[in-house]
Amino acid sequence: MATKQRTPAVSFDDISGELPTGTVPDDVDLELVAKDAIAKLNNLTPEDLTDNALWRDLLSFTGTYRTFYSGSTVLATLQRLSSQKRRGSFRLRGGDPRIARSLGDISWIDIDLSFDTEADGIVAHCEGTVSVVRREDNKWQIWMLRTWLESFDGHGHPDILDPETKHAHDSPEGSSKEHVSGVADDLPQTSHKSNQQYDAIVVGGGQAGLSVAGRLKALHLSYIVLERRPEIGDVWNTRYESLRWHTSKEYGNLPFGHTYPADDDYMLPARRIGAGHKAWSENYGINVRTSTSVDSAAFDDSANMWTITAASSDGHQTLKARNLILAIGPGHLTPVVPEWASPERIESSKFKGTIKHSSSYHSIPASLVGGRGIVVGTANTGHDVAEDSANASMDTTMIQRGATFILPMEWLHHAQNMHYNASMHPAEADRESFTYPNKILRDMINRGTWSLVGQSPDRFDALEKAGFKIERYGDIYHNMYVRFGGHYVDIGASARIANGEIKIKTQSVTSLTETGVLFEDGSELPADLIVLATGFDHDFRKDAAKIVGKDVAEQMDDYWGVDAEGEVRGFAKLAGHPQLYYLGGDVRTGRFFSRFIALQIQADAIGMPLQQYLD
């Protein structure tokens, strides 16, 4: 068996990297500073970098996702890889240099750049941003560098696909290189015969699966999406009726532009999200096979090929692909149920009410309006369900274990609107905000959020007076990248808790009774409906093993959490097994990193697979 890959997880606080100190004067000549910064990059010396300099690279130099820390490390690594990659000169790119800020006491200058690398006669176009700070002696130094792979010359671009195109390049006939060269421009649509061969098969037609499929099509690679539900968008259409994104609709765009009409709600309800996904897939001619469940996938080492078996109403099919992308909602497939709510305990308690996990919850039944409701869990879903219960005039109680981080929606929306809006293309917004090293972006967000928390004590005091346990100075990046959630973006439920419409109980449940739940302090709470908003089993290997088998799943790296450089483990990269990728995360994460999975697959298809730099 192949060696297991296990990248250790670390806390964000243990990762190197820090924000600079000092500010940029308002009267600075930005153009002059920009030219000086590019000149420094092209002839880099130790004095040109701050001691705490850092560099994040997304495929362009390292073939993977790496963040390097300290001036000496950045200098040595950049020089070494520039030589290996035959890098051309750094040059100024497009946008104007600009002053970036973290609150009012820290600022720096961001300068956009571009450069090319070359290998085996293939030119890679790359872009980046260099950030410079002013020293006490008024000289400028490079504090941060961000670089990423944009595209391969003559082979399409992962962010550009015209709508209403024919289904060119989606047929599996012929070789990958023929698809890339454009020989297959008028190939027929895919039939359901066996032994079809693709550059990539995508399992799952949700946000991440559609995003990577669109990128593959834009890069002229053959692919197919296998979706087990009857329609694209059903992953949202089948969720609870009151569900809506707590983030902005612009934050949740699919690739290539603005997915949702201007008159759509700012926070989209689930069915509008689903309708948008379906319309987008039709608009861009995404090659999808719905009502198709993947039974298994096996890798042939000698042929470097996956064989996938799938079942649909047409029967069983066998498909082959060089690459397999699992976009199956990693860590969100298997509900977690507390022991006291197991089927055996429910039966033995003779509980007379209704109990269900939030994954199977849709709405408050009419028969229970005005009754008694309990919601177990206080993250986003728990709050949403509690509001449903309160709206149905139920006597509603949320059961809370640990403290919960509350992020007011207006704070989040203000931050998102800076880049994710109708005036900025989503691809440019992603480059502007999502190429930062995770540690730095986390520190910037925390500084801004904690400042607002300090200015708004009454909001959180009211929740505590109502009995709600607050993690007042929470860390949203920890919740997103380590905990898989556990916070609440407040779209209104907090006020209802503060005014008593939704009650809070912080005792642990020990068992069910015929009429409700029994707590560790001996008290009892009656309930007609109990909804378990208790999350999911986040061991993605269990989900992957159902498709690729336990042996292959065990080879794969841990998924989610961050490594010592602040990069997300096992995500959108080859991690422990050849030609197998896992993609998921929040809506922006899946959209942005789908471009890099597609570029890795394209590099292999055109004969210059990216070599990962592992020092």
Interatomic CA distance for residues 95 and 614, integer angstroms: 33
Residue at token pair 């709508």: 163
> Is the domain of 240 the same as that of 349?
no
Residue at which a domain ends, from 506, 532, 558:
532
Q: What is the mean pLDDT of the chain?
A: 92
pTM: 0.93
Sign of the alpha-carbon torsion through 236, 238, 240, 242? positive
> Is the domain of 366 the same as that of 494?
yes
Sign of the alpha-carbon torsion through 504, 507, 508, 513? negative
Interatomic CA distance for residues 421 and 277, integer angstroms: 19
Confidence class of residue 174 from pLDDT cuts 50, 70 and 90?
A: very low
Mean pLDDT of 533-552: 92
Q: Give the model confidence (pLDDT) of 277-300 as tens digits.
A: 999 999 999 999 999 999 999 999
Interatomic CA distance for residues 530 and 606, integer angstroms: 55
**Residues constituting the chain:** 615
Identify whether 160 is part of a domain: no
Interatomic CA distance for residues 569 and 505, integer angstroms: 36
63 neighbors 573 (Cβ within 8 angstroms):
no
Least confident piece of the model among 30-39, 162-171, 232-241, 428-437: 162-171
Query: What is the SS3 assignment for 339?
Result: helix
142 neighbors 49 (Cβ within 8 angstroms):
yes
Q: Give the model confidence (pLDDT) of 295-328 as tens digits.
A: 999 999 999 999 999 999 889 999 999 999 999 9
Residue 45, pLDDT score: 97
Identify whether 601 is part of a domain: yes
Residue at which a domain ends, from 532, 565, 585:
532
Residue 195, pLDDT score: 58
Interatomic CA distance for residues 10 and 516, integer angstroms: 41
> Is the domain of 190 the same as that of 327?
yes
Residue 392, pLDDT score: 97
Residue 189, pLDDT score: 33
- Above 70 in pLDDT, residue 213? yes
For residue 557, give the nearest of 1, 96, 8, 171 by alpha carbon: 8
Mean pLDDT of 426-452: 96
> Is the domain of 209 the same as that of 247?
yes
Query: What is the SS3 assignment for 498?
Result: helix
Residue 332, pLDDT score: 74
Residues 6+ apart with CB under 8 A from 593: 571, 572, 583, 585
Identify whether 281 is part of a domain: yes
> Is the domain of 41 the same as that of 64?
yes
Residue 164, pLDDT score: 64
> Is the domain of 349 the same as that of 496?
yes
Least confident piece of the model among 35-44, 131-140, 214-223, 452-461: 131-140
User: For residue 580, what is the domain's CATH number?
Assistant: 3.50.50.60
> Is the domain of 314 the same as that of 433?
no
Other CB atoms within 10 A of residue 372 CB = 19
Residue 192, pLDDT score: 38
> Is the domain of 586 the same as that of 502?
no
Total number of domains in the chain: 3
Interatomic CA distance for residues 575 and 573, integer angstroms: 6
Q: Give the model confidence (pLDDT) of 48-60 as tens digits.
A: 999 999 999 999 9
Residue at which a domain ends, from 512, 532, 552:
532
Give 421's strand partners.
Answer: none
Identify whether 1 is part of a domain: no
Interatomic CA distance for residues 375 and 389, integer angstroms: 9
Residue at token pair 């100024």: 92
User: For residue 109, what is the domain's CATH number?
Assistant: 3.10.450.50
For residue 455, give the nearest of 472, 437, 470, 476 by alpha carbon: 472
Identify whether 226 is part of a domain: yes
- Above 70 in pLDDT, residue 386? yes
> Is the domain of 438 the same as that of 478?
yes
> Is the domain of 210 the same as that of 313?
yes
Percent of the chain at pLDDT > 90 equals 84
For residue 363, give its domain range. 339-532
- Above 50 in pLDDT, residue 571? yes
57 neighbors 147 (Cβ within 8 angstroms):
yes
Residue type, 544: A
Identify whether 69 is part of a domain: yes
Identify whether 162 is part of a domain: no
Left if phi > 0, otherwise alpha if psi is -120 to 50, otherwise beta: which for 331?
left
> Is the domain of 324 the same as that of 360?
no
264 neighbors 275 (Cβ within 8 angstroms):
no
Query: What is the SS3 assignment for 235?
Result: helix
Identify whether 298 is part of a domain: yes
> Is the domain of 214 the same as that of 314?
yes
Residue 167, pLDDT score: 45
